[in-house]
Amino acid sequence: MTAPIALIDCNNYYVSCERAFDARLVGVPVIVLSNNDGCAIARSAEAKALGIKMGDPIHHLRDKVRVHGIRVLSSNYTLYGDMQRRVVAACEAFARDFEIYSIDETFLDLSGFEDRDLVAHSRAMREQVRLWTTIPTCVGIAETKTLAKLANAVAKKDRRFDGVADLRDDDARHDVMQAFPVENVWGVGGATARKLNALGIETAGALRDMPMKQARAVGTVVLERLVAELRGVPSNAVEKVEPQRKGMAVTRSFGTPVTTFDSMMGALSQYAMRAGEKLRQHGLVAARLTTFFHTNRHKPERPQYAGSRTIVLHPMTNDSLELIAAARRGAERAWRDGYAYTKAGIMLDDLVASDMRPRTLFEGDADKRDRLMDALDQINGRFGKWTAVTASQGFRREWKLRSEMRSPAWTTSLAEVPTVSAL
DNA sequence: TCTGGGGTCCTAGGACCC
DNA sequence: TCTGGGGTCCTAGGACCC
């Protein structure tokens, strides 16, 4: 008997976080926009009922927003990240181990809890989360992560389950899988779904019953493992320790298109600065930095250009000033005049823990630089992001992104904590 | 006419996820 | 006018080696 796995998933997470601090958002349609206020990335149940889809561009929704009085918010990742810690803390006593899978989903290893009524156990956990954060959740229980995902999806959609679905039993999951569209299975995207449909495979049940060899031919080892998971054979473990990350990126769309090299370097310097901060937070150094920028791909009638260059960082580094210098070298090589750039970014690859990095003969004043970076992080951490900047970041920042409807930092900034008055 | 048979490493790109 | 920002894993194919 394999250990039970649960997936707890927050409902309409970003909207639920916003509602935790603004009761006026409860019971009305609400959407939260992507960075740069571009498209809808979270919708309340009321907004979903109005036909608003994930990723709908806001400028296509103006009429609906007006007619139905939809509340529109910019995203507030500081708030959502902080609320996530609280959600996970509320679950802590209910599982032996965890894998935080995304900002609103956590896999739980329930081994050691098998002798309990796991549905009641999960209900108690949901209640705890709701009590500490007000956030509504659903829970799926099964023998593998893929089945727990599926269980979670039906717990959310099918009212009979009332928010908690336990599909460990073969009989319990048979009917559910026969009715579950194959394109909604975790790991089956558009391309794979089309291939499977062409073979007459349209449900999770049919995918489970597909021959392994055929699965491999259609979707490589990835699909083969997925089929095993649907059969209740784990091939994707709950990762209890956070795996070493392999790359990281800081990329943004611009509020206004960028046409000059100096302005582009302003943005790239800012991203490289942030990338350095992220590396240092995680105790990592990078071996390669890629700079890229491109024009608006949604406007094929305009002149298009996409440039990118990769610079090898030798020695490996997490020094923001060196990252900026590398970003500049890459940008100089990739730059073309005469285009309106709408997005740019920095990607770092081949990350290694900084105490494991190979030493070289030419490191010079590495310690001094480390202390400078420490000081920079502390100043900006304490007094705000834009306190200490490099000259290349510039001061005009016409490229900075739009975020016109962002809620306050309710939980992470003393200046913005909510005030409550009692009469 | 006809041009070996392995390896490894690296990169680009596809597919998928939230 | 206006379309997010992160990540992961896998494969194919080229460069290079013996």
With a cut of 70, say whether residue A282 has pLDDT above it.
yes
Residue nearest to nucleotide C9 (CA to C1'): A222
Nucleotide nearest to A104 (CA to C1'): B18
Rounded Cα distance between A323 and A346, Å, is: 9
CA A316 – CA A285 distance, rounded (Å): 6
User: Which residues of chain A between 163 and 202 are close to nucleic strand B, CB under 7 A?
Assistant: 185-193
Q: Name the pLDDT band for A32 (thresholds 50, 70, 90).
A: very high
Mean of the per-residue pLDDT values for chain A?
Answer: 91
Residue A296 CB lies within 7 Å of the nucleic strand C: yes
A110 pLDDT above the threshold of 70: yes
* Model pLDDT, residue A377: 80
Buried b (16+ CB within 10 A) or exposed e, A21-57: beeebeeebbbbbbbbbebbebbbebbeebebeeebe
pLDDT of residue A299: 87
Q: How far is the CA of A237 from the C1' of B1 (A)?
A: 55
- Nucleic strand C under 7 Å from the C-beta of A243: yes
Sign of CA dihedral A405, A409, A410, A416: negative
What are the residues whose beta carbons fall under 8 Å from the beta carbon of A384, sequence distance 6 or more? none
Percent of chain A with pLDDT over 90: 76
| pLDDT average, residue stretch A267-284 | 94
Q: Mean per-residue pLDDT for A404-411?
A: 85
Provide the pLDDT for residue A364: 64
pLDDT of A398 = 64
Residue A392 has pLDDT above 90, yes or no: no
A253-284 burial, b if ≥16 CB within 10 A, otherwise e?
A: bbbebbeeeebbbbbbbbbbbbbbbbbbebeb
How distant is C1' of C7 from CA of A348, in Å? 12
Q: Output the pTM of the full model.
A: 0.92
Average pLDDT over residues A129-137: 97
Q: Is the CB of A18 under 7 A from strand B?
A: no
At residue A386 the predicted structure's pLDDT band, cuts being 50, 70 and 90, is low
- Nucleotide B14's nearest residue (CA vs C1') is A191
For residues A267-287, give the mean pLDDT: 94
SS3 sequence of chain A: CCCCEEEEEECCHHHHHHHHHCHHHCCCCEEEECHHHCEEEEECHHHHHCCCCCCCEHHHCHHHHHHHCCEEECCCHHHHHHHHHHHHHHHHHHCCEEEEEECCEEEEECCCCCCCCHHHHHHHHHHHHHHHHCCCEEEEEECCHHHHHHHHHHHHHCHHHCCEEECCCHHHHHHHHHHCEHHHCCCCCHHHHHHHHHCCCCEHHHHHCCCHHHHHHHHHHHHHHHHHHHCCCCCCCCCCCCCCCCEEEEEEEEEEEECCHHHHHHHHHHHHHHHHHHHHHHCEEEEEEEEEEEECCCCCCCCCCEEEEEEEEEEEECCHHHHHHHHHHHHHHHCCCCCCEEEEEEEEECCEEHHHCCCCCCCCCHHHHHHHHHHHHHHHHHHCCCCCCCHHHCCCCCCCCCCCCCCCCCCCCHHHCCCCCCC
Q: Is the CB of A145 under 7 A from strand C?
A: no
**pLDDT of A266 above 90:** yes
Cα separation, A105 vs A31, whole angstroms: 20
What Å value separates CA A191 and C1' B14? Answer: 10
pLDDT at residue A360, rounded to an integer: 66
pLDDT for the residue A286: 94
Q: Give the count of beta carbons closer than 10 Å to the beta carbon of residue A164.
A: 23
- Predicted confidence at residue A376, as pLDDT, reads 77
Q: Is the CB of A102 under 7 A from strand B?
A: yes
Burial category of A337 from C-beta neighbours within 10 Å (exposed 0-12, middle 13-18, buried 19 and up): exposed
Handedness of CA A369, A374, A375, A381 (dihedral sign): positive
The C1' atom of B6 and the CA atom of A213 lie apart, in whole Å, by 27
Provide the positions of strand C that have an atom within 7 A of a protein CB: 1-11
- A251 phi and psi angles, rounded to 5 deg: -135, 150
- Which nucleotide minimizes the distance between its C1' and the CA of A310? B11
Quote the distance between the C-alpha of residue A377 and its chain's center: 24
pLDDT for position A370: 82
pLDDT digits (tens, 9 = 90+) for A82-91: 999 999 999 9
pLDDT value of position A132: 97
Q: How far is the CA of A121 from the C1' of C11 (A)?
A: 43
Single-letter amino acid code for the residue at A105: E
**Cβ contact A388 with chain C strand, < 7 A:** no
Strand B bases contacted by the protein (CB, 7 Å): 11-12, 14-18
**A180 CA, C11 C1': separation in Å?**
29
Q: How confident is the model at residue A396 (pLDDT cuts 50, 70, 90)?
A: low
Structure tokens, A305 = 């250009």
Question: Is strand B less than 7 A from the beta carbon of A67?
Answer: no
The pLDDT, as a whole number, for residue A227 is 97
Question: Residues with Cβ < 8 Å from A336, sequence gap 6 or more?
Answer: A305, A307
d(C-alpha A54, C-alpha A57), whole Å: 9
